[in-house]
Structure 1
Amino acid sequence: MTTTAAPATAPFRFFDVQVVRALRVSTSVVRITFGGERLDALASGGRDQRFKLFLPQPHQDRPVFDDTGDGWYTAWRAQDPAERPVMRSYTIREQRHEPREFDVDFALHGAGGGTPSTAGGPASRWAAAARPGDRLTVLAPAVEDNGGIDFRPPAGTDWILLTGDETALPAIAGILSWLSPGTHAKVWIEIDHEDDRQHLPTFADADITWLVRDGAGAAHPEPVLSAVRAAKLPEGTPYAWIAGEAGTVKALRRHLVRERGIDRGAVKFTGYWRRGATEEDLIAELMAGAAAPSDED
C-alpha cells in the first residue's frame, strides 16, 4: 500500500476561475466544472484534496477581496460581511490538464428544483443556479503534496475503513481511485436518495455499502453508525478515514477507538457540517476562537 507523510508546508495560491459547465449528476448532487487561465499551476494531490472556494455576494459578479497576499485571511475577516466573499471548503473531484479544468461536486441540501430560495446554504444555492461564465475565486494547492490532504495511511496498514455521507462522497471517490491494487477497503456511504449512488472506480479490493436515508427509518437515525457497529471488520491493522456530519463522525470515532480498540492515531476524522448549525455559525465560532486570548497571553 502507498503511504505518505504530511508535508511541512501547505503552499496554496489564489486562482480566478469561471464555470465551464454544470451537470446534475443525481437528485442531491450537481457537478460544476471550472476553467481558468492559470490552472496549469494548480496541482491537486488527489485523495481528499480540499481547497477554499470563495463566492461573490448576491449583488456582485465576482468575489471582491481587499487583499490576496500572505495576509489575506486577516484582511478577509476585517471586510464588511456584506461585501467579503463567502468562503467554503470543498474537495477537488477530478482535475484534467487538457483542457485545464477541474470538477467539484456540490451537495445541494434541497436547494434548486423549485424549492424555497432559503433551502440549502449559500454554496448549495449558488451551485443549483450556476451557469457557464459565472466567476469565483479558489485558494488551491500549487504543489501535489500539500496540507490540504488528510488521507495518509501509515506504513504497516493492513486495510482501510472509509465512511461518509454525500458531502464526503467526492473525497471517498478520490481516495478509492488513489488506492493501490490489492488494498482491502471497507466503505460505508450514506446518501439521501437511491439515485445518489455513483460509480466509484478503484484498483482496490473495495467492499462498498450504500445506505439510503429514504429507507433508514426512525429505528436507524444514524445509518452509518448503525452499520459500522453491526459489521464484522477484517483482521489486521486498520486506518480509518471518517467524515460527514460532525455528531456522527464523533460517535463513529468513539466507537472505533473505545469499542473496536483501534489506535486513535489511526483514525482520521473530519466534521464537514454540523446538524442544526449553518457554516456561517461554524466560521463565526472559529473566528471567535482565533480572536480569544490564550492562557499564555
Structure 2
Amino acid sequence: MTTSENPFRFFHLHVLRTEQIGPGFVRVTFGGEDLKAFVSDGRDQRLKLFFPQPGQDEPVVPVEAGDDWFAAWMAIDAGERGIMRTYTARDARRDPDELDIDFAMHGDTGPASRWAANAVPGARLVAIGPQRTDNGGADFAPPKDAPWVLVAADETALPAVEGILRWLPGGLPAHVWLSVAHDGDRRELPGRAGTNVRWFVRNGSGDPIPEAIAAADLPEGTPYAWIAGEASMVRAVRRNLVRDRGYDRKSVTFTGYWRRGATDDDLLVESLAGQEPHLPGKDD
C-alpha cells in the first residue's frame, strides 16, 4: 500500500482545528508528517478515512499489510477495526502541509458525523489517500469535445462540486443544480463566466433537483453530466437525461453517496457483496 507503484498509501492524521461553516457542515483541518506525500488530482478527489470505535483513541487499521490491506482490515473483528468511510479531499495545502475535509452533519446517525461533531485538536485518524496525481480517485472526467457540463448534487457532494468548479477549464460552460437542507449551507462557489448555479433548499421535503432539471430548457448538444448525492435523486436525474432527453449514457457519470432509509453500514455490506457499483458512505 505504500509502494511507489501504488497511487495510494496510508496517512496518519491529527486534527489541527475545526470550523462550523454552516448549519449542516463542519470543516476539519488535518495535519501530520505524512501529508508531505499527499497529492490530490483535484476535481472530486476521494480518499478513505478510518474512524476509531467508541473507546479507542485512534482507529485500528492494518497499515503494515501493504497491498493486502483490505483483506487484512476485513479479517479484524467488526467491533474493533477502524470504521471506513469515503470522503472528498476539499483542499490540500503546503507550507504547512494541511488537508481540509468538510463533513456533512447528521447528528448521531452516522459514526463520521458523530466523530466530526466532537473532534478536538490532536484527535487522530488514519486515511488512505493519493500519493500521485494520476491516481484514478477522481470520477469527473469530461471529454475534450464536451460542449457544456451539467452538475447535479446535494450537500453531501458539495465539497466535490467545489473541486470540480475550481478545476474546470475556461470556456467550458457549466450548469449546476445544488440542493441543501439549510439555507445557511449555501456558500460562495468557485466560478467564472459561463457557470450558472441554481440553489434549492429542501426544508424537510424531497429533493427538487430532478423536477427542476426535467423542466429546464437545456443548451443544445450532449453535455458531460456528473450527478452525485442521495441515490433516488441521482437515479431520477440520470433517467431524465438518458431516457427522456436521449443523452448518451456514456456521457453521464453518477454516484449514489447515500440512500434514504439505509445506514452507511448497510451500504457497505451491499457494496462488499457486489450489489452496489460504488463505494458507500461518502461525506456522511
Q: Would you say same fold, with TM above 0.5?
A: yes
For residues 94 and 193 of structure 2, what CA distance do their matches in structure 1 show? 25
For residues 273 and 167 of structure 2, what CA distance do their matches in structure 1 show? 37
Q: CA deviation at 1:246?
A: 0.9
Aligned mate of 2:34, from 19, 34, 38? 38
Q: CA deviation at 1:226?
A: 1.0
Q: CA deviation at 1:249?
A: 0.6
Report Cα offsets for 1:173-232 as digits up to 9, x if no partner: 100011122221100001001100011122352100000011x75xxx231111111111
Report Cα offsets for 1:47-84 as digits up to 9, x if no partner: 00001000011111011124441111001111101110
Maintained 8 Å contact 1:179/1:203: no
Aligned mate of 2:229, from 238, 244, 250? 244
Q: CA deviation at 1:43?
A: 0.4
1:210 is paired with a residue of what secondary structure? Answer: strand
Report Cα offsets for 1:6-33 as digits up to 9, x if no partner: xxx9610000000011000000000000
Maintained 8 Å contact 1:50/1:92: yes
2:273 is paired with a residue of what secondary structure? Answer: helix
Aligned-partner residue type, residue 255 of structure 1: N
Structure 2 equivalent of residue 268 of structure 1:
253
2:124 counterpart of 1:135: yes
CA RMSD of aligned residues (A): 1.4
Report Cα offsets for 1:92-146 as digits up to 9, x if no partner: 111101210110000002x1xxxxxxx3200010011111100000000011121
Q: CA deviation at 1:155?
A: 2.1
User: Structure 2 matches for 1:188-267, cutoff 5 A?
Assistant: 188-203=177-192, 205-214=194-203, 217=205, 221-267=206-252
Q: Identity of counterpart residues, as a percentage?
A: 55
Structure 2 equivalent of residue 69 of structure 1:
66
- List alignment gaps of at least 5 residues for structure 1: 1-8, 112-118, 291-297
Aligned-partner residue type, residue 79 of structure 2: A
Q: CA deviation at 1:40?
A: 1.4
| Structure 1 residues 211 and 82: CA distance shift in structure 2, 3 A | same
For residues 289 and 256 of structure 1, what CA distance do their matches in structure 2 show? 26
1:136 is paired with a residue of what secondary structure? Answer: strand
Aligned-partner residue type, residue 195 of structure 2: A
2:272 counterpart of 1:283: no
Structure 1 equivalent of residue 166 of structure 2:
177
2:70 counterpart of 1:85: no
| Structure 1 residues 253 and 46: CA distance shift in structure 2, 3 A | same
For residues 212 and 35 of structure 1, what CA distance do their matches in structure 2 show? 33
For residues 54 and 248 of structure 2, what CA distance do their matches in structure 1 show? 46
For residues 206 and 58 of structure 1, what CA distance do their matches in structure 2 show? 44
Aligned mate of 1:126, from 115, 132, 140? 115
- List alignment gaps of at least 5 residues for structure 2: 276-284
**What is the TM-score normalised by the length of structure 2?**
0.92
**What is the TM-score normalised by the length of structure 1?**
0.88
Maintained 8 Å contact 1:176/1:204: no
For residues 245 and 225 of structure 1, what CA distance do their matches in structure 2 show? 12
Structure 1 equivalent of residue 282 of structure 2:
none
Structure 1 equivalent of residue 44 of structure 2:
48
Report Cα offsets for 1:143-181 as digits up to 9, x if no partner: 112111000001210100001000000000100011122
Maintained 8 Å contact 2:43/2:138: yes
Aligned residues: 270
